[in-house]
Amino acid sequence: MAGEQVESHGSGSGYAHTYATLPHIALAILTYWIAATAYSLLTAPAIPISIPWMGYGKGWIAALRNYLAVSQSKGWMLAGYDKYSRRGDAFVLPPTLGMYPEVVVPRSIMQWMFDQPDNVLSVSAAHYDILQGSYCFVKPIILKDPYHEHVVHRNLLRNLNFILPEIAQEVPSAVTNIYGTDTEQWKTINVMDSFMEMIPGITNRMLVGPALCHKRKYLDAVTGFTTDVVRGQAFMLIVPKALHPIVGTLISLPGKYHYWLSSRFTLPVIKQRISDITKKDAGDPDYKDWTEPKDFFTWIYRTAQAEGRHDEMQPERIAKRILPLNFASIHTTSLTGYEAIVEILNAGPDVVRQLREEVYRITQEEGGCTRAGLTRMYRLDSAIRESQRLSPIALTFNHRKVVAKEGIVLPDGTHIKQGTIISCPWMSMASDTEIYDKPGEYDPFRYSRPREAYEAMTPEEKAKVNSLKLKQGGMVTTSIQHLAFGHGRHACPGRFFVSHELKMILSYMLLNYDFKPLSEKPKKIWVIRHLIPLPAKIEVRRRKSPWTPADG
């Protein structure tokens, strides 16, 4: 009995000691977190005092208020654009949470920025920092040396004529599997989820070919990886940089796991492809009639072979290169598709009818969704481009990092130190009344009206028109005024594929499904510097037969 009392007393002391220790541990963690955050702020690249700061200014208290102001960046951006950019001056978008302070340059010097060499202003270095390249892409080299982008630049456009017919085969089943075949009952669809389901399989037909693009476990792995990157990047924002090596190691584990899952499918195919190419090149008679597939596996191996990049010819490296391409393709394309279909349906039935008429007419003339026909779908092209303008996914685009040791001098004489991030004010430009008429409205045919008017002209009338300027209104055409795909030599290399892919998907949906009008436009929120679309649902029903002009 006495022993039991002593044992009970001792146990109670242990629990009391534990509970007394927990607040101390929590306080120690909080203190270290605050100290590490302060260290991160103090060691950030110094920005010249001549460049004005938005937000709460500089200094300890202001820095803390900026750090916590997760919903203020959009307001700061608009105010900075009106106050400084319009008169040709740069301004600083202050760091919120763990984001970098950005020097936002005015439109007047953007072309100068795009013209700077990569050893002065680096795109890849900026992406490496912003996307947490040290931790989120399996190996740091994948973003430090984005060779996959170079391969896509070299190979995608020249192979589009081969790729697009294969994509056209994928679209009907990809849409039907999600939107359904019921011609009687309406079906409720989560728009973003539907595109996140469709895009991976369609895109991977181009990346890895038909053998893998239908394997659910492979698609789940690469889609899971893209989600890992988004989550990891977001989480690392709240982690002080002094803790990145520790926390980043843990954050990298889900991405490495999904790479391992995907590599179980990709590595055997890659190794077989290398073996086939090697035998073909050696003149093996068994490979006399073998034709190498036109997918990313072949592109990267052949490009690396021609350029002497033996490190990029290794199966494991090729398997890792697939991941950032999926990341870039899945989320951004899905967001673009989401915005396009929501804006089109919100614009009303007359807009839907005009788009259907164009799609029907051109597919009848071309015998399907051909490259030439897709290029002629000016209205659909314009509707997608306009949704990009009205709902940019971020406040700033075209990020560059100053990598030159001596820094860089802006055209106005301001010296910017090495390590500074520079960007362009795309969101503010997209809503600028000096650039666009009624920029706050969705005008689906803003870019197509001049092009359709040109097509209706006589040869004599066309000779008097600058046709090149008209073509600059196309979805894939980049310019100082439209930065959705970037601009200059580092513009998105996959934009030609994305444009055709989305037009194929939307064309099929418009002809084969009816849509209930939206009761209200889905809400969106800005969190720090990014636009977050809230869940949007639409009601669809399969048509008994594809739409024709007789349906009205």
Mean pLDDT for all residues in the chain: 90
> In the chain, pLDDT over 70 holds for what percent of residues?
91
Q: Is residue 414 part of a domain?
A: no
Does a structural domain hold residue 307?
A: yes
- Is residue 158 domain-resident? yes
Range list of H helices, 84-190: 110-115, 123-130, 141-144, 147-155, 160-179
| CATH of residue 199 | 1.10.630.10
The predicted-structure confidence for 461-482, as pLDDT tens digits, reads as follows 777 777 666 666 778 888 888 8
Query: Looking at residue 473, what DSSP letter applies?
Result: T
67 inside domain: no
Question: Quick check: is 490 in a domain?
Answer: yes
Quickly state the pLDDT bin for 188 (edges 50, 70, 90). very high
Distance CA 396, CA 106 (A): 12
List the one residue out of 351, 329, 347 whose CA is nearest residue 501: 329
Q: What is the DSSP letter of 7?
A: H
Ordered strands of the 102-104 beta sheet: 91-93, 102-104, 421-424, 397-402, 121-122
pTM of the model: 0.90
The answer to whether residue 219 scores a pLDDT higher than 50 is yes
Asked whether residue 429 is assigned to any structural domain, the reply reads no
Residue 167 lies in a domain: yes
pLDDT in tens, 248-306: 999 999 999 999 999 999 999 999 999 999 999 999 999 999 999 999 999 999 999 99
Q: Does residue 267 belong to any structural domain of this protein?
A: yes
Average pLDDT over residues 183-196: 97
492 is in an annotated binding site: yes
Length of the chain: 552
Cβ-contact 136, 229 below 8 angstroms: yes
Residue 17 pLDDT exceeds 60 = no
The dihedrals phi and psi of 401, each to the nearest 5 degrees, come to: -115, 135
Beta-strand ranges (E) seen in 137-210 are 187-190
SS3 486: strand
Q: Give the number of domains in the chain.
A: 1
* Residue 365 belongs to domain spanning: 141-392+436-480+484-551
